Amino acid sequence: MSFRTAHFTVATRFALIEHGRNRFAMVLVALFVPVWTTLAYLAMPDDPARMRLRATGETLAPHGNELTEISGALNAVTLITGFMMFAATFSGSGFDRRLALAGYPRVPLVLAKVTALALVSAVVAGYATAVTCLAWTPRQPLLLAAALFCAGLTYGALGVGFGSLLRREVEGMFAIVMTSIIDLALQNPVTSSGADAPVVRYLPSYGAMQASTAAGFSSSPVPGHLAVQLAWFAAAALVAVAGFRRSTRSSLSSGAPAPPPPAGRRHRRPSRAPPFCRVLTDAPSHAHDPAHGVRHGSRLRSRPMRPSSQPTPADRDAAPRARRSRFPARSRTGEDPALRAAYRLCRRTTRRHDPAIHALVQLMPAVLRPAGWALWAAANAVDDLADGPDADAAGRAARVAAWTEALRGDLAAGTSTDPVRHALVDTALRWRLDLSGLRGAMAATRDDTRGRHFADWAEWRAWCTEEIAPWVDQVRHLFEQAGAPMTPRLDRQHDYRRFIDGAQLTDVLTDLGADLAEGRLLLPREALDACPGAEDALRQGRWSPAAAALVGTVTDLARRWVTRPALTRGMHPGAATVLDTSARLLRAQLDAVDAAGPALLERAPRPSLPTRVRILAPARLRARLAWSLTPLTVPAAPPAPPVPRRTPATARAWEPAAEDTALRTPPPHPEGARPPRIAADRMPTHVAIIMDGNGRWAEQRGLPRSAGHRAGNVAAREMVYGALEIGLRHLTLYAFSTENWQRDTEEIAAVLEATRRELDEGPVRDLDVRQRWSGNSGKLPEELVRSLLREERRTRARTGLTLTVCLNYGGRDEITRTAAALARAARAGDVDPDLIGEDDFARHLPHPDMPDVDLLWRTGDEQRTSNFLPWQATYAELYFTPGHWPDADRRDLWQAITAYGRRRRRHGAAPLVSPRKPAVPTRPE
Ligand code: IPE
Ligand code: IPE
Ligand code: MG
C-alpha cells in the first residue's frame, strides 16, 4: 500500500468513525426519515396534483400525498447529509488544519471526506427509498434512490463548504435548513403554485426533484436530470474544496480551539506529580522496590520553555543520526532483557495505578510511550518515597535524597540496578534529555516531607513551578526530540503555566482526603482565610458548609486554570490531542471533585467510566490519525554507557553547581599588562575571532602543524583572560570549520583532541565563563560532543563572559539548519510563512540570543571571513592582523578593541556633519 493510499485509508476510517459518533445524526437518520415521509404521506390529501414534468415533458397527476412524500424524502436526505457533513467539518476543522500544517497531504483528506459523504448519502438515500416503498411503490425505485443519493451528495458538499467557511455553528445549520426548505418547497406543486416557473430549474435540487418525481410516476429514464444534479454536486464540491483549503491554511491567528469544558461531571486522587505527568501520573509506583512501600501524591511543575523549533545542542547532536520511522517497543529497547523488563515494569506500574494516565500515554506515538512510562514511574517513585506513612519525615527525606543520589550515579554509569531508574537513564540517553533539571524538583519533593505552608497563591504557584514543571519539561522535550513539539506558542506561555498550575490544583483537590489523613492541607492561607472555619472542619474530617464553600471555590479556580482554549493553537496535531485530552480529563476530574461532596474526605473521586470513555475514545482516534500522518524523528540507539571516570560527564551534568561557588579570576598577564580603559559607548559587545595561522606558525619553527594548534589553544585562553579583564560580554572563537575536514586526518585529530582537552581540563573551566558550542555534531567524535554539551550545561548559569566556541561550524550550514527550523515551525503553525521577517529567522538560529558581531578579527594575514558567522557579522567592523594566532596574547585583543573604539559605525545612515567643519560656511558676524 503506498503512503498516499495509507493516508487515504486511515483518514476515511477516521471520517466514518467521526460520523458514527454523531449520535444526533444517527437518531435523525433512524427517526426523521420515516417520521417525516410517513407524516407527509398520511397528512397530505391524496387528491391528484396536476404538474408538468420537465424531465420527460409529460403532464402528470400524481397523488398529492405521494408527491409530498417524495419531496419529504428529498428534504430529509438533504438535511441529514448536509447536517452530518457540516457538523464533521465544523468540529474537525481545527484538527484538519493541524494535520495539514503538520504535513498531512490535503488530497487524501479531501478524498476521505468525499468517500465518507458518498457512503453516508448512499445509506440515507437507500433507507429513505425503502421507507417510501413501504407506503406505495414508485415506478422506478432504483432511480428514486439514485436521485436521493445525488441530492445527498450535493447537500453534503454544501455542508462541507459551510463548515469550512462559516464561523458559527448556528449559521451553518440555519444555512442548510433554509436552503433545503426553500429549494424543495418551491418545487413541490402541492405547496407552491410556482413549481412550474422557469426559475426553479436553477435550484440546487432541481435535477434530483425531477428525477425522483419521474421515478415515482413515470417510466421514462431521465439520465440528463441526474447529470444536472451531479453538476450541482461538482459545483458545491468545488466550493467545499476551496473552503477546506482556506480553513487549513497556515495562519498565526488560527488554530483549533480546545474543546469546551464538559458540563457537569467529576473525578479523583492526591496531589503532586507533574501536571501532564500527574495527569500523566497519579498512582503510587514502587512495585520496583517493595521496601519503599506504596504511596500517592506527586508533584508537578511548570517552567518556561525554549521555542520548539529552535535547534538545541541536543537537536544538533541527534539530527545527523536520526532516522524517520516508528519503532515497535521491542526494537526501541534493543535486545537487553533487563531493559525491556524495566520498561515493562514502568508500563505495568502506570497501567495498574492509573488507567487514565496509562490511556493518556497511549495517545503518545508508540515510539515515545516507553519514555512516557519511565518518566511517570520515576516521578511517582520519588513521590511515593516522600509520602509513605511507613517512615518519619527525616526518613522519607533521606530516602528521596538517596534515590536522587543513586540516579546521579546511574546516569554516570549509563545504567542502573533499579528498574525504574534503569528505564529513566535509558530514556535520558536515548532521547538526550538533560535530567539535571529534575534535581531541583526532587529536592523540592524531599523538602515536602517537612510540610508545606503557603501564604498566598503566588507562593503556591512558585512551589508548583519548582516541583512540577521540570517533569513536564521532560515530557515536552521528548515530543520536541521526536519532531512533534508540544510547545505552546510564545503568546500562550502564560496559558501553559496556568494550565500546569490548574493540573496541580486538581491533584491537590483530588487527594484532599489522603493528604488530610497525613496532616497536609496543600492550599494557601489566602484561600483558607477566605472561608472561615473551613480549615478546622477539614482538619477534623468534617464536611461543613464552609469546607464545601472552600472546595467549591478552589475547584472553580482550578477549572478556570485548566480551561485554556487557545493553549494548543498551532501545535502539532498529535501533541495537541494529548494536551487537549489531558485538559478534558482534568475538567472531568474536577467535576468528580464537585460531585463527591463529603465523600471527598473518604476517598479520591474519579470520573465515571462512560465519561472517561467519552473523552478517551475519540482522542485515541485522533491521536492515531495524527501520528499515522506525521513521520517522527527517532534518534539512533543511545551511546554505550560511558566508562565511569572520576568526574563523568553525565554525573557532572547532574551535580549541583557547587564548583561555581569557587570561580577563579583570570591569572595576570606575565608582564603585568593591564587592560586599557575603554569608554562604555566605545566598547564592543561581541568580538568574534578567526584564529588563523597555527599551521604556518608551526611550519616556520619546523614543528608539526599539530604543535601549532596546541599553541593556538594557549592563545585562545589568553583571549578569554583578556576578555574577562576588559569586561567584554561575548567572545566567539572560530576553532574548526566545516571546510577543515578537507585537511589531513592527523591534523584534524590534533585540532579536535586539543579542543577536547581544553574543555575537560583547561583553566577556563574555573572562570566566570558561560561556555557554548556552535556547530554541527556531524562527524565530531562522540566524546568531544559530550564534553561540549557538558560544558554548556555546567556553565549555563554563569554571568561573566559568554564564550562561544565554533567547532565544526559553517555559516552556510547554520543558515541551512535555521531555515529548516523555520520551515518546521511554519509547518507546525508557529509562524506564518507570509509574515516571516528577519526577527523570525534570528529567533530560529541555534543561539538566538547571540548578539550581532561588533568586531570581527582575523589573524594570520588573510583577509576573508571563511564562512564565519555570515548572519551575525553582516555589520561587523573587520580587523585583520598579520601575526599568526599562537603569537597573539590578550594585549592584541585589547588593541583590537581600542581600534574598534575609533571606528565610526553608521549602519547605513548618512555621515554626521562635523560641527567643526560646517558644510555651509557661515557669514562672519
Ligand atoms: C587555523 O589555523 C586553525 C584551524 C583552521 C583549525 P590554520 O591551521 O588554518 O593555520 P594556517 O592558515 O594553515 O597557517
Ligand atoms: C578558518 O581558517 C577556520 C578557522 C580558523 C577555524 P582556515 O585557514 O581554514 O580558512 P581558509 O582556508 O584560509 O579560508
Ligand atoms: Mg588557515
- Report the nearest atom of ligand 1 relative to the CA of 698: 14
Whole-number Å distance, alpha carbon 887 to ligand 1 midpoint, is: 13
**Residue 258 belongs to some domain of the structure:** no
Q: Is 852 an annotated catalytic residue?
A: no
Answer yes or no: is the C-beta of 743 below 6 A from any ligand 1 atom. no
Check 692, 830, 854, 892 and give the catalytic one: 692
Q: Which amino acid residue places its CA nearest to atom 6 of ligand 1?
A: 736
Of 204, 222, 253, which closes a domain? Answer: 253
Same domain, 344 and 404: yes
Which residue of 689, 690, 806 sits with most ligand 2 atoms within 8 Å of its CB, as the best mutation to test the pocket?
A: 690
**Residue 130 belongs to some domain of the structure:** yes
pLDDT exceeds 60 at position 258 = no
**Residue 407 belongs to some domain of the structure:** yes
Answer yes or no: is the C-beta of 864 below 6 A from any ligand 2 atom. yes
Which range marks the domain in which residue 704 is found?
Answer: 663-670+683-902
- Report the nearest atom of ligand 2 relative to the CA of 864: 14
Q: Which amino acid is at 874?
A: T
Whole-number Å distance, alpha carbon 908 to ligand 2 midpoint, is: 29
Q: What CATH number corresponds to the domain at position 649?
A: 1.10.600.10
Percentage of the chain surpassing pLDDT 70? 83
**Residue 128 belongs to some domain of the structure:** yes
Whole-number Å distance, alpha carbon 708 to ligand 3 midpoint, is: 11
Residue 648 vs residue 700, higher pLDDT: 700
CA distance 855 to 74: 77
Same domain, 645 and 694: no
Answer yes or no: is the C-beta of 52 below 6 A from any ligand 2 atom. no
Residue 874: alpha-carbon gap to chain centroid: 34
Q: What ligand has the least distance to the C-alpha of 705?
A: 1
Percentage of the chain surpassing pLDDT 90? 33
Whole-number Å distance, alpha carbon 225 to ligand 3 midpoint, is: 80
Give pLDDT tens digits for 597-645.
Answer: 999 998 889 899 889 888 988 888 888 888 876 666 665 555 454 444 3
Which residue of 774, 806, 856, 866 sits with most ligand 2 atoms within 8 Å of its CB, as the best mutation to test the pocket?
A: 866
Same domain, 771 and 852: yes
Give the pLDDT score at 103.
Answer: 62
Q: Which amino acid residue places its CA nearest to atom 12 of ligand 2?
A: 866
With cut-offs at 50, 70 and 90, classify the pLDDT of residue 46.
confident
Q: Is 740 an annotated catalytic residue?
A: yes
Same domain, 111 and 187: yes
Same domain, 648 and 697: no
Whole-number Å distance, alpha carbon 237 to ligand 1 midpoint, is: 65
Same domain, 184 and 94: yes
Same domain, 764 and 643: no
Query: Average of pLDDT values for 763-787?
Result: 91
Same domain, 873 and 804: yes
Find residue 687's DSSP bridge partners.
731, 855
691 torsion bin: left (phi>0), alpha (psi -120 to 50), beta (else): beta
Q: Residue 647 contacts by C-beta under 8 Å, 6 or more apart in sequence?
A: none
Q: Which of 322-336, 397-411, 439-453, 879-893 is the least confident region?
A: 322-336
Same domain, 648 and 791: no
Q: Which amino acid residue places its CA nearest to atom 8 of ligand 1?
A: 695
**Residue 511 belongs to some domain of the structure:** no
**Residue 443 belongs to some domain of the structure:** yes
CA distance 899 to 879: 9
The answer to whether 299 touches 774, Cβ cutoff 8 Å, is no
Largest interatomic CA distance in the chain: 119
Same domain, 26 and 125: yes
How would DSSP label each residue in 838-876?
HHHHHHTSSSTTPPPPSEEEE-TT----TT--TTTTTTP
Answer yes or no: is the C-beta of 695 below 6 A from any ligand 1 atom. yes
Same domain, 747 and 642: no
Residue 131 vs residue 263, higher pLDDT: 131
**Residue 470 belongs to some domain of the structure:** no
Residue 795 burial (CB count, 10 A): 23
**Residue 120 belongs to some domain of the structure:** yes
CA distance 327 to 309: 24
pLDDT exceeds 50 at position 307 = no
Answer yes or no: is the C-beta of 102 below 6 A from any ligand 2 atom. no
Residue with cell string 440555519 = 174
Q: What CATH number corresponds to the domain at position 826?
A: 3.40.1180.10
CA distance 895 to 726: 11
- Report the nearest atom of ligand 2 relative to the CA of 806: 6
Query: Average of pLDDT values for 97-112?
Result: 75
Of 253, 281, 311, which closes a domain? Answer: 253
Report CA torsion sign: 115, 118, 121, 123. Answer: negative
Q: Give kind and range of the element (H or E) at residue 52.
A: strand 51-53
Check 740, 776, 830, 892 and give the catalytic one: 740
Give pLDDT tens digits for 786-833.
Answer: 899 999 888 888 888 999 999 999 999 999 999 998 898 888 877 788
What does pLDDT average to over the chain? 80
Same domain, 146 and 220: yes
Whole-number Å distance, alpha carbon 747 to ligand 3 midpoint, is: 12
pLDDT exceeds 90 at position 297 = no
Total domain count, the chain: 3
